[in-house]
Chain A
Amino acid sequence: MINLQDLEAAIRTAIPVSHLEIEDQSSGCGENYSIILVSEAFEGKNTLARHRFVNDLLKIQIAQMHAFSQKTFTPKQYQEFLAKKA
C-alpha cells in the first residue's frame, strides 16, 4: 500500500509544485488515488506528455495501486480552471 505522504514526497522532490491535491479514494486500503498537480514543469507539454511524465515519476507507486487518476495543469491553466469552476 502507498501512503499519501510518500506519494506527495515523490512528486515534490521531482518537480516544482505550485499546487498539489492528493485524494485517497480507496476508503483506506491505499490503492486508489486521484491527484491534481499544478506545476510550471508542464509548460509546453501536451496532456499525454504530462501524464507520461507523472506516470514515469510515480512508476513504483502506481505499480502498487489499483487505480490512479490525474489532472495536470500549468499555473496559468489552473487559474483558468478555478475561474471557470467559480
Chain B
Amino acid sequence: MFRASLRSPLISLRPSAATSLTASRVIAARFLTQQARTQIQNAIKSSPVVLFMKGTPDYPECGFSRATVQILDLHGVPADKMKTYNVLVDDELRQGIKEFSEWPTIPQLYVNGDFIGGCDIVLGMHQSGELQSLLVNNEVIPKPEEQVEAQAA
C-alpha cells in the first residue's frame, strides 16, 4: 500500500516554501539537502520525545507505528512531552528522515535528539525494561514510586 516511495532515495529540493509542487518534483537531488537536514534537526529537537510515524497517534496507518504509539502510551509519556510527525503527509520528510537517521523504515523514535530505533527496538526495550529507564533518565516520565521512596529514605 505505502511501498512505492521506498524504492526511490530521491529527496525533492525545495528552494523556497513558495515553490510550486511541480517545480519541486522536477528538481531533485540524490542527497539530503542542507535545508531538509536542518528542518529534521529542528523537528527532532522540537520535543523530548519525537516519533516519526505513518498516520497520527489517534489514527495510526501502519501496524508498526500503532504498536510504537501504544508502547509509549503504556509508559505514560505525557502528550506535552511528545510530538509526532506523520510522514504520509510529507513525502520529503518520509524520504529525508530515512537518510537522516540512516534507518530504512518508519516509525522512528527520538528521545532528546538521540535516535533510539524503530518498532522492533522499541518493543525489545519495552520488554527488557530499558525503555522505562531511558524515559526516566531523560525526565520524560517520573520515576516509579518505589524508587522515589527509596531515594527519599
The chain A residues found within 8 Å of chain B, CB to CB, are: 31, 47-48, 51-52, 55, 59, 62-71
By a CB distance below 8 angstroms, the chain A residues around B104 are 55, 59, 62-63, 68
**In the complex, which of the residues A48, A65, A71 has the most CB atoms of chain B within 10 Å of its own CB atom?**
A48
Is B121 touching A51 in the complex (CB atoms < 8 A)? yes
By a CB distance below 8 angstroms, the chain A residues around B6 are 63-66
By a CB distance below 8 angstroms, the chain A residues around B124 are 47, 71
Is A48 touching B3 in the complex (CB atoms < 8 A)? no
Partner of A71, one of B1, B105, B120: B120
Q: How many angstroms from the CA of A69 to the CA of B107 in the assembled complex?
A: 12
Is residue B59 within 8 Å, beta carbon to beta carbon, of the partner chain?
no
The size of the chain B interface, using a CB distance under 8 A, is 20
Is A51 touching B7 in the complex (CB atoms < 8 A)? no
Q: Mark B1-39, 1 if CB is under 8 A from A, else 0.
A: 111001101000000000000000000000000000000
Q: How many angstroms from the CA of A52 to the CA of B117 in the assembled complex?
A: 9
Nearest Cβ distance between residue A53 and chain B, in whole angstroms? 11
**In the complex, which of the residues B64, B104, B115 has the most CB atoms of chain A within 10 Å of its own CB atom?**
B104
Is A68 touching B105 in the complex (CB atoms < 8 A)? yes
Nearest Cβ distance between residue B28 and chain A, in whole angstroms? 17
By a CB distance below 8 angstroms, the chain B residues around A70 are 120
Q: How many angstroms from the CA of A61 to the CA of B18 in the assembled complex?
A: 36
By a CB distance below 8 angstroms, the chain A residues around B103 are 52, 55
Nearest Cβ distance between residue B104 and chain A, in whole angstroms? 5
Partner of B2, one of A55, A62, A66: A66
Is B120 touching A51 in the complex (CB atoms < 8 A)? yes
Residue on A nearest B115 in the bound complex, by CB: A48
20 A–B contacts from the bound complex (CB under 8 Å): A47-B117, A47-B125, A48-B121, A51-B117, A51-B118, A51-B121, A55-B102, A55-B103, A55-B104, A59-B104, A62-B104, A63-B6, A64-B7, A65-B3, A66-B6, A67-B105, A69-B64, A70-B120, A71-B120, A71-B124
